């Protein structure tokens, strides 16, 4: 992807909220000058919708029924090592993949199919996702002459999807007889493809927000720091030190360094020692995103237990306790989209260093978690060898994940109410370099200097995504009059003065001490220092310094329930679909004269 200067001008409206020093404002028009354009996806080049079409990339997207299976027996595949297999002496075998398609649209499905004898036959067809019903008689009966036996044939099927938005492309054999040629025959399938017959023009995306990291230091009007020991049994301590989070040569660098021995400690959630410092940054309270393409270009680290991530969380997330639990949603009711995660392994070119994962998490008050995708995508070399692009294309009820120009996973959650409540709402972006943890296991030693190098992060939208976001915000709360505040130590000012909010909502706040964080001293952390207007007396006890004040617009009719993980906390009723508005400002406390 060559560099090119691209000027993107668009109406942002309430879709991306921009907070600067002083008053918080909503930008109405914004010109975004970017170093690159969004990568052109293969979908926009009439992409093959079948994922892992030649069965070489783990076969996680393929399904089977009956005795259908896969094989890497020598010289059986048309290309590569693997292919689908419908074994001999079986009357029910199917290899298939479920794909999302456009209704009432013509598609062309192709496959290479080999029959082991001239008496055998098989079916190449289009069925409902549960492979129970043929769609619009879309089926080819595959037979062969004696000369074609043990030879791959090119099979083509042109069909219309009718009213279906999800279909299964199947290679199968089926017979009630246990002695006929179909039963006795052996069938191989490889190189399956599905493309739209007459594709429409490529979607046009406007880049409405971007950071190319071409400045001298991290832009803290857009990014904040996650600090301390936060998740799982990881072995890094997130800090805001310049050696761990910095800009260099047009890149954002998150670097792991050795944590001084005197500052190392045992992770309180397990028995691993925290031995590294590292970096984690996020746009929480400063930028939020709803529908569109969120894309990063980065070079990922390698090594045992390295754990870089590019992900989003709901903009109303209560930050693992740094915001009052009654002022937003906890994990994973807030929604989480893991755009990219890598679990490094020892050994150059190991599977872990060549594989990235795509997942979304949702739940209903931590009781009924609904995990979406959870798939892996592997390439032939370390992701550390060069820069790659990672992104999602997110629309209401649908997320597509891509690596470079390939769409590697697609999820439709229109049938999952829990996922809709958690994911069809604004999110913020986060990037971090974890070291070790429950998933990657113990981190390796000697990994100081490990880097997660990020070239850019872009956010773009097409017309339908802009319209969907606009529709959401039309019924969402909006706060005005927010500003950075200075107060005198020991006083109790009205921190809600001059703030207005949409009718039917009220505003409250939480204050944390991110700016007071010290990286040295053992297990240091950022913490909630004031829980809101009902805790205003605490303001008088805060020492002079700089703080985050997180303002949240909360529905007047909000109901609460007990948090399932901590019975001392009340949280908004998870079954309700409340809308919040969250903005972060700066509170400065000066010493009394």
Indicate which CATH number applies to the domain containing 116: 2.60.120.260
Are residue 175 and residue 221 in the same domain, yes or no? no
Q: What are phi and psi of 323, to 5 degrees?
A: -130, 140
Residue 16 DSSP one-character state: S
**Residue 553: is its pLDDT beyond 60?**
yes
Q: Which of 407, 440, 471 is the last residue of a domain?
A: 471
Q: Is residue 46 part of a domain?
A: no
Of 222 and 372, which is predicted with more confidence? 222
Distance CA 224, CA 548 (A): 10
**Residue 485: is its pLDDT beyond 50?**
yes
Q: Which of 146-150, 472-476, 481-485 has the lowest mean pLDDT?
A: 146-150
**pLDDT average, residue stretch 108-132:** 94
Q: Which of 170, 188, 193, 191 is nearest to 70 (CA)?
A: 188
**pLDDT, tens digit (0-9, with 9 covering 90-100), for 130-159:** 999 999 999 999 999 999 999 999 999 999
Distance CA 132, CA 53 (A): 22
**Residue 215: is its pLDDT beyond 50?**
yes
pLDDT number for residue 202? 62
**pLDDT, tens digit (0-9, with 9 covering 90-100), for 233-291:** 999 999 999 999 999 999 999 999 999 999 999 999 999 999 999 999 999 999 999 99
Domain count, the chain: 3
pLDDT number for residue 412? 86
Are residue 494 and residue 352 in the same domain, yes or no? no
Of 26 and 94, which is predicted with more confidence? 94
Q: Is residue 15 part of a domain?
A: no
Are residue 209 and residue 291 in the same domain, yes or no? yes
Distance CA 271, CA 222 (A): 35
pLDDT band at 47 (very low <50, low <70, confident <90, very high): confident
Distance CA 413, CA 407 (A): 17
DSSP secondary structure letters along 487-541: EETT----TTTT-EE-TTEEEEEEEE-GGG--S-SSS----EEE--GGGGGGGGG
Are residue 492 and residue 464 in the same domain, yes or no? no
Tell me if the pTM is above 0.75.
yes
Kind plus residue range of the DSSP H or E element containing 312:
strand 306-314
Pairing of strands 6-10, 30-34: antiparallel
Are residue 187 and residue 320 in the same domain, yes or no? no
Q: Which of 72, 100, 120 is nearest to 169 (CA)?
A: 100
pLDDT band at 367 (very low <50, low <70, confident <90, very high): low
Indicate which CATH number applies to the domain containing 260: 2.60.120.200
Are residue 291 and residue 408 in the same domain, yes or no? yes
Share of the chain above pLDDT 90, in %: 81
Distance CA 120, CA 491 (A): 87
pLDDT number for residue 556? 98
Indicate which CATH number applies to the domain containing 573: 2.60.500
Q: Three-state SS for 311?
A: strand
Q: Which of 179, 196, 213 is the last residue of a domain?
A: 196
Residue 58, phi-psi category: left (phi > 0), alpha (psi -120 to 50), beta (remainder): left
**Residue 269 neighbours by CB distance under 10 Å:** 14
Distance CA 327, CA 336 (A): 18
Distance CA 348, CA 380 (A): 12
Q: Is residue 250 part of a domain?
A: yes
pLDDT band at 182 (very low <50, low <70, confident <90, very high): confident
For residues 293 and 283, the answer to whether their CB atoms sit within 8 Å is no
Are residue 215 and residue 346 in the same domain, yes or no? yes
For residues 428 and 284, the answer to whether their CB atoms sit within 8 Å is yes
pLDDT number for residue 15? 39
For residues 440 and 343, the answer to whether their CB atoms sit within 8 Å is yes
Are residue 154 and residue 234 in the same domain, yes or no? no
Distance CA 139, CA 267 (A): 58
pLDDT band at 451 (very low <50, low <70, confident <90, very high): very high
pLDDT band at 18 (very low <50, low <70, confident <90, very high): very low
Q: Is residue 528 part of a domain?
A: yes
Distance CA 590, CA 592 (A): 6
Q: Which of 11-15, 467-471, 512-516 has the lowest mean pLDDT?
A: 11-15
Q: Give CA separation, 371 vs 59, 293, 312, in Å.
A: 20, 21, 15
Q: Which of 354, 332, 352 is nearest to 343 (CA)?
A: 352
Q: Which residues contact 440 (CB under 8 A, 6 or more apart)?
A: 304, 305, 306, 307, 343, 344, 352, 434
Distance CA 376, CA 354 (A): 10
Q: Is residue 534 part of a domain?
A: yes
For residues 380 and 373, the answer to whether their CB atoms sit within 8 Å is no
pLDDT number for residue 365? 63
Q: Which of 143, 166, 196 is the last residue of a domain?
A: 196
Are residue 290 and residue 192 in the same domain, yes or no? no
Q: Is residue 23 part of a domain?
A: no
Share of the chain above pLDDT 70, in %: 93
For residues 207 and 460, the answer to whether their CB atoms sit within 8 Å is yes
Q: Is residue 514 part of a domain?
A: yes
Q: Is residue 7 part of a domain?
A: no
Are residue 467 and residue 480 in the same domain, yes or no? no
**pLDDT, tens digit (0-9, with 9 covering 90-100), for 333-351:** 999 999 999 999 999 899 9
Are residue 264 and residue 116 in the same domain, yes or no? no
Are residue 128 and residue 179 in the same domain, yes or no? yes
**pLDDT average, residue stretch 539-545:** 96
Q: Which residues contact 445 (CB under 8 A, 6 or more apart)?
A: 275
Q: Whole domain around residue 522: which residue ranges?
A: 474-590
**Residue 561: is its pLDDT beyond 90?**
yes
**pLDDT average, residue stretch 88-110:** 94
């Amino acid at each position: 992807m060559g560099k090119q200067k691209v000027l993107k001008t668009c109406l942002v409206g309430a879709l991306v909220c921009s907070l600067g020093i002083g008053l918080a404002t909503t930008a109405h028009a914004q010109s975004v000058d970017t170093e690159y354009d969004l990568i052109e996806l293969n979908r926009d080049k009439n992409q093959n919708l079948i994922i892992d079409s030649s069965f070489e990339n783990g076969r996680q997207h393929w399904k089977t029924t009956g005795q259908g299976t896969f094989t890497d027996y020598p010289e059986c595949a048309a290309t590569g090592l693997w292919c689908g297999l419908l074994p001999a002496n079986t009357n029910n075998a199917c290899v298939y993949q479920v794909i999302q398609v456009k209704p009432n649209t013509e598609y062309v499905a192709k496959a290479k199919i080999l029959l082991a004898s001239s008496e055998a036959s098989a079916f190449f067809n289009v069925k409902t996702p549960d492979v129970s019903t043929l769609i619009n008689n879309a089926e080819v009966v595959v037979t062969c002459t004696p000369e074609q036996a043990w030879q791959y044939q090119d099979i083509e099927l042109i069909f219309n999807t009718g009213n279906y938005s999800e279909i299964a492309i199947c290679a199968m054999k089926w017979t009630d007889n246990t002695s006929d040629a179909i039963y006795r025959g052996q069938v191989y399938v490889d190189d399956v493809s599905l493309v739209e017959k007459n594709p429409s023009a490529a979607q046009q995306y406007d880049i409405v927000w971007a950071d190319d990291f071409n400045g001298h230091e991290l832009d803290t009007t857009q990014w904040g720091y996650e600090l301390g020991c936060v998740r799982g049994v990881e072995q890094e301590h997130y800090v805001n030190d310049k050696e761990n989070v910095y800009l260099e040569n047009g890149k954002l660098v998150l670097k792991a360094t050795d944590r001084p021995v005197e500052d190392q400690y045992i992770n309180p959630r397990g028995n691993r020692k925290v031995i590294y410092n590292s970096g984690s940054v996020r746009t929480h309270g400063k930028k939020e995103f709803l529908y569109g393409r969120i894309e990063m270009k980065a070079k990922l680290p390698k090594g045992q237990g390295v754990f870089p991530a590019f992900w989003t969380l709901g903009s109303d997330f209560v930050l693992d306790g740094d915001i009052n639990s009654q002022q937003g949603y906890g994990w994973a009711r807030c929604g989480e989209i893991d755009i990219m995660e890598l679990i490094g392994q020892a050994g150059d070119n190991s599977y872990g260093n060549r594989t990235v994962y795509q997942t979304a998490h949702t739940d209903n008050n931590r009781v009924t978690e609904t995990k979406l995708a959870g798939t892996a995508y592997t390439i032939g070399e370390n992701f550390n060898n060069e820069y790659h692009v990672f992104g999602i294309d997110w629309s209401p009820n649908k997320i597509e994940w891509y690596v470079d120009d390939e769409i590697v996973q697609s999820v439709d959650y229109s049938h999952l109410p829990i996922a809709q409540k958690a994911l069809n709402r604004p999110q913020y972006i986060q990037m971090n370099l974890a070291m070790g943890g429950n998933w990657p296991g113990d981190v390796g030693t000697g990994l100081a200097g490990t880097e997660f190098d990020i070239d850019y992060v872009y956010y773009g939208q097409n017309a339908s995504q802009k319209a969907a976001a606009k529709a959401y915000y039309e019924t969402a709360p909006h706060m005005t009059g927010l500003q950075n505040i200075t107060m005198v130590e020991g006083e109790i000012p009205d921190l809600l003065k001059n703030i207005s909010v949409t009718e039917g909502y009220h505003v409250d706040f939480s204050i944390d001490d991110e700016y007071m964080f010290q990286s040295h001293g053992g297990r240091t952390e950022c913490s909630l220092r004031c829980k809101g207007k009902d805790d205003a007396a605490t303001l008088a006890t805060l020492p002079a310094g700089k703080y985050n004040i997180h303002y949240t617009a909360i529905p007047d009719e909000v109901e609460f329930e007990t948090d399932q993980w901590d019975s001392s906390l009340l949280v908004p009723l998870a079954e309700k679909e409340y809308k919040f508005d969250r903005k972060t400002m700066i509170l400065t406390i000066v010493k009394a004269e």
